[in-house]
Structures are given as C-alpha cells and as structure tokens.
Amino acid sequence: MVTFYYCKRCGRICISDESCKKCDCCGAAAYPVPQKYWDEDDVIMRDEQQKLLREELVKTSPVFDEDLFNRRDDIITSQVNRVFHVYYPSTISCF
Ligand SMILES: [Zn+2]
C-alpha cells in the first residue's frame, strides 16, 4: 500500500511504501501524513494540500529547521543525482 510520509524538520513529502521511515533529505524521522491531507485514491498530494500540511504540521513543529526547509529542493536535486537509486530503491516517487 502506498502511503505519504512527511518530515517535520525540512518539510519533505514522499510517496512510498512502508520502507520510507527516514527523511531522504535531512535524515530525520518521517511520519505518515494524516488522512485529512489526501484522499484514498490520490496518487499524489495536491499542491494546496502540501502547502497546508507544511503550514500546519511542519512550520509549527519544534524540530522545524527553516534553513533546511528553504534549501530542501537543492539538497534533493543533488542527492537524486548522486545516491537516490542506491539508498531508496523502493521509493516510487518524491516531490
Ligand atoms: Zn527532512
């Protein structure tokens, strides 16, 4: 079963199976996204849902790191090129 996971520290959101327990951006623990942010048959989270989740759950988190949050896309881009397929072979897609 595909589930969405998010990181409370940098705001990374992944679609994955059960193996995605750690954020592939900053290494912090990843948490399942509450059902209210996505529908049963969604294959991706809509932009406004991602934004809402980040406003409500990430930016209010005690471990939120604004610097990482802002650099997330750059970090992911460089990681994807380097090690993505080695360390996260079961990840279906991330955004
Ligand atoms: Zn993270």
State pLDDT tens for residues 4-28. 899 999 999 987 766 667 898 899 9
Record the pTM.
Answer: 0.76
Expressed in angstroms and rounded, the spacing between residue 29 Cα and the centre of ligand 1 is 8
- At residue 89, does pLDDT exceed 60? no
Cα distance between residue 83 and residue 54, in whole Å: 26
Expressed in angstroms and rounded, the spacing between residue 67 Cα and the centre of ligand 1 is 11
Asked if 42 and 95 count as a contact pair (C-beta separation under 8 A), the reply is no
Expressed in angstroms and rounded, the spacing between residue 34 Cα and the centre of ligand 1 is 17
Name every residue whose Cβ is closer than 8 Å to that of residue 2 and which is 6 or more positions away in sequence.
15, 16, 17, 43, 92
Residues 24-77: pLDDT tens digits?
889 999 999 998 998 877 777 889 999 999 999 999 999 999 999 999 988 888
Cα distance between residue 29 and residue 49, in whole Å: 21
Expressed in angstroms and rounded, the spacing between residue 39 Cα and the centre of ligand 1 is 23
